[in-house]
Amino acid sequence: MKKITIHTEFSVFESINELDQQTHDLMLKAIEIRKKAYAPYSKFRVGAAVLLDNGEIILGNNQESAAYPSGLCAERVAVFQAGSLYPDAKILKIAISATSDIHPTQKPTPPCGACRQSISEYEQKQTTPIEIYFMGETGEIYKSDSLENLLPLSFDKDFL
Ligand code: THU
């Protein structure tokens, strides 16, 4: 028997003011679109802003359904829209902000497992890393230099 160790690392920014200008502006867009989430059931709003290498910014927020599993997370709304509009563009970075209407949170809120898997597909397709920045309503921002940090040992097309 042997063990393998996987190293994963995040940068922590104290607030959006510590981000570079481009990322700061992207996060502001994530915050704005978060407020328009359709989340009547969970009251938990998430906004995502995707920056492409052609300069386009694609936004998404979570869309819920009375048939709960039919809803979709903000991150996938945004990356699927980016993929459908600009199939040849690369995703450079994604900014995410999430909070509850009931218990506003300052905890950096990472993308769920299903969103990690979906973002991973794009990272593998484009063969360049995607920076992921995530935060709560306010407070610290975590940055991952690539999606791989958030989803080590991911399942991908090479296993098919
Ligand atoms: N949600 C997201 O939009 N992104 C995530 O990564 C986690 C969860 C949404 C789905 C649902 O509308 C609400 O947050 C509560 O789970």
Q: b/e map of 77-88 (b: 16 or more CB within 10 Å)?
A: bbbeebbeebee
Q: Ligand 1, from 34, 62, 133: best to mutate by most atoms within 8 Å of Cβ?
A: 62
For 57-71, what is the mean pLDDT? Answer: 98
Closest C-alpha among 140, 102, 128 to residue 14: 140
Name the 3-class secondary structure at 2: coil
Does ligand 1 have an atom closer than 6 angstroms to the CB of 44?
A: yes
What are the tens digits of pLDDT across the range 32-62? Answer: 999 999 999 999 999 999 999 999 999 999 9
How far apart CA 14 and CA 86 sit, in angstroms, is 33
Mean pLDDT, the chain, whole residue set: 97
- Residue 138: alpha-carbon gap to chain centroid: 16
Q: Ligand 1, from 34, 35, 42, 137: best to mutate by most atoms within 8 Å of Cβ?
A: 42
What's the pLDDT band for 124 if we cut at 50, 70, 90? very high
